[in-house]
Amino acid sequence: MSMAVGRRTGGASYDELLVWLVLALLMFGLVMVYSASIDTAAANVHTGYNGAFFLIRQAGFVAVGLACGYAAFRVPVYQWQRWAVWIFVGGLVLLALVLIPGVGRSVNGSQRWLPLGIINLQPSEIMKLAAVLYAADYTVRKAAFMHNFKQGFLPMLIAVLTTGALLLREPDFGAFVVILAIAMTTLFLGGLNLRIFIGLLALSVIGFIGLIWSSPYRLQRITGFMDPWSDPYGKGYQLAHALIAFGRGQWFGLGLGRSVEKLFYLPEAHTDFLLAVIAEELGLLGVAVAIGLFGMLVIRAFRIGREAAQQERHFCALTAMGIGVWLGVQAGINIGVNVGLLPTKGLTLPLMSYGGSGVVTNCIALGILLRVDHETRAMRRGRKGA
């Protein structure tokens, strides 16, 4: 992840634009996390009434994330492919551990964290990376059976449903949606039979509707999302205040640090609803910058994947595109929730929102993406030299 990753020998050996995009998102997020959390931290006894509490922790997460990203970059892609199955199994074990009473930690009714002293590990974040690697490896191994339901698709379906069952017990519906999107897109890009893919889409829609109707909690979120003003002090509270923040910000915002909604009105202002604070303080311009940075990041990921595919490095290609899908879908859902297009999901804004597990895992994934690009460029230079 460092700018010193590659040496110039006939051109950069890594994607410089990708590095700058990642750094821009991390630094933008660091500034906005501080702005969104300073008053909350200053009024909380658990933070020692230190307004910079969340800033200091987030800066530490970013530093660790960059170090882990650089370490991930140093690992050859073939090693990640060798480890893919074991990383996926490890992720399942962590998801199971978090559900054990006395082991997992519950916050606001959700049991999603493993307490590790001064930090909490969120296994669902690790599982997203595991899903990218496992889906890419599985698709490459089963390439000859992608037109066969039993041999090509059924084993992956079982793996995804097992993951989903564990995530829904937490519950973490949003993470399940992201992982399902990663798996489906990877299989489709890997040549899954079109009829099977369309059938899967139909079943997914039916399944999601069933999950919503079978859970009063999820149903309340849907009804609250459709008309937040019908119960602005109850189920529509979060969305109502997010929309107020967007309305107050208008085109250019009220100015950095001048948000009113972050003053104990908007819950999770420095995590799930960070974009609403950006909208209030920096206006539509700030939101457009954030969306533009994510859009460019996803485009770079798919371009790196396409270049790897042209060299018939199929695992690399699917991994790169899977990372693009992961970050794009998660960012898209978070943005949709903040502007009222989607019901509240509890998904953070990748690279920007407060949280160690998310930031570190995102950086590791982007380190792998940079490694894919680095190896592709090295092979291209080798062929030109030959």
pLDDT, tens only, 10-46? 467 889 999 999 999 999 999 999 999 999 999 998 8
DSSP character at residue 354: S
Long-range contacts of 193-197 (CB under 8 A, 24+ apart): 193/146, 193/147, 193/148, 193/149, 193/152, 193/153, 196/149, 196/152, 196/153
Pull the structure tokens for residue 211. Answer: 């999950």
What residues contact 198, with CB distance under 8 A and at least 6 apart? Answer: none
The tens digit of pLDDT for each residue in 341-376 reads 888 877 999 999 999 999 999 999 999 999 999 999
Q: Are 273 and 338 in contact (CB under 8 A)?
A: yes
Pull the structure tokens for residue 204. Answer: 């997914």
Banded model confidence at residue 386, pLDDT cuts 50, 70, 90: low
Question: CA torsion, points 136, 172, 96, 98, in degrees to nearest 10?
Answer: 130
Q: Are 278 and 255 in contact (CB under 8 A)?
A: no
Tell me the residue type at 252.
Answer: F
Q: Is 212 exposed, middle or buried (0-12, 13-18, 19+ CB in 10 A)?
A: middle
Pull the structure tokens for residue 57. Answer: 């922790």
Residue 385: predicted pLDDT = 62
Q: Are 127 and 95 in contact (CB under 8 A)?
A: yes
Q: Are 373 and 14 in contact (CB under 8 A)?
A: yes
Banded model confidence at residue 224, pLDDT cuts 50, 70, 90: low
From residue 168, give the alpha-carbon distance in Å to each of 11, 105, 133, 212: 47, 16, 22, 12
Residue 361: predicted pLDDT = 98
pLDDT at 199 over 70: yes
Residue 153: predicted pLDDT = 81
CA distance 295 to 164: 27
The tens digit of pLDDT for each residue in 240-249 reads 999 999 999 9
Which has the closest alpha carbon to 22: 327, 347, 245, 384? 327
Q: What is the strand order of the sheet 105-107 is part of?
A: 105-107, 110-116, 119-121
DSSP character at residue 355: -
Pull the structure tokens for residue 252. Answer: 């250019």
Q: Which of 101-110, 142-151, 205-214, 286-295 is predicted with the least confidence, judged by mean pLDDT?
A: 205-214
SS3 107: strand
- At CA 313, angle to CA 312 and CA 315, rounded to 5? 130
Residue 312: predicted pLDDT = 93
The residue assigned the tokens 């006894």 is: 45
Report which secondary-structure segment, H or E, holds 211: helix 194-213
Pull the structure tokens for residue 263. Answer: 């003053």
- At CA 131, angle to CA 127 and CA 134, rounded to 5? 130
pLDDT at 301 over 90: yes
pLDDT at 8 over 50: no
CA distance 370 to 363: 10
